[in-house]
Structure 1
Amino acid sequence: MPLVIYTLLRIALVGAALGVLYLVGLRGWLLPVVAVVVALAVSYLTLGRPRDAATQWMAGRAEQRAARRAATPKIDADAAHEDAQVDEKLRAD
């Protein structure tokens, strides 16, 4: 969720920069280019906390995925062991 909030804040900054630059009189293809550059600078200066929260959230998700991937071989080994026991039992009967 912090990633969504950070993204929405950055989009809002681009929109605000577009509006202000339009009112100042900037037109044409240069308007969106300058608006994105201004929004980038403003977001870097003002959105430190949301950016850190989004980074921590993404790092936590990466750790969760790594933990799931690390657990998979153990689950596969357990399943193989159980299958071998069932096969042995079936052969014995």
Structure 2
Amino acid sequence: MRPVLVYTASRIGLFLVTLGVLWLLGLSNPLVLIICSFLISGIASYVLLSRQRDAMSARISDRVDRPKPQDD
């Protein structure tokens, strides 16, 4: 579960940093601020968090592929 938490926390942190930077640059309309932050952090996370995303997808794939215990 750790890779999922690391990736999620990194995405949230990247969004908050982007939100803060755009706010400091003078973007004051809340709706535009949130939309721009979402788009910029999404693109940045695609580039910056590829290792964490790969670890998370491997963890999820392992959990899905694991055989379920049989109840007799």
Q: Find the counterpart in structure 1 of residue 34 from structure 2.
A: 32
Larger RCO, structures 1/2 (Cα 8 Å, 6+ apart): 2
What secondary structure, in the 3-state scheme, does the structure 2 residue paired with 1:30 have?
Answer: helix
**TM-score (norm: length of structure 2):** 0.91
Q: Deviations over 1:48-90 (max 9, x none)?
A: 10000000000011112xx11xx52xx53xxxxxxxxxxxxxx
**TM-score (norm: length of structure 1):** 0.71
Q: CA deviation at 1:27?
A: 1.3
Which of the two has higher C-alpha Rg? 1
Structure 1 stretches of 5 or more lacking a match?
A: 77-93
Alpha-carbon separation, structure 2, partners of 1:27 and 1:60: 44
Structure 2 stretches of 5 or more lacking a match?
A: none
Give me the CA root mean square deviation.
1.0
Identity of aligned residues (%): 33
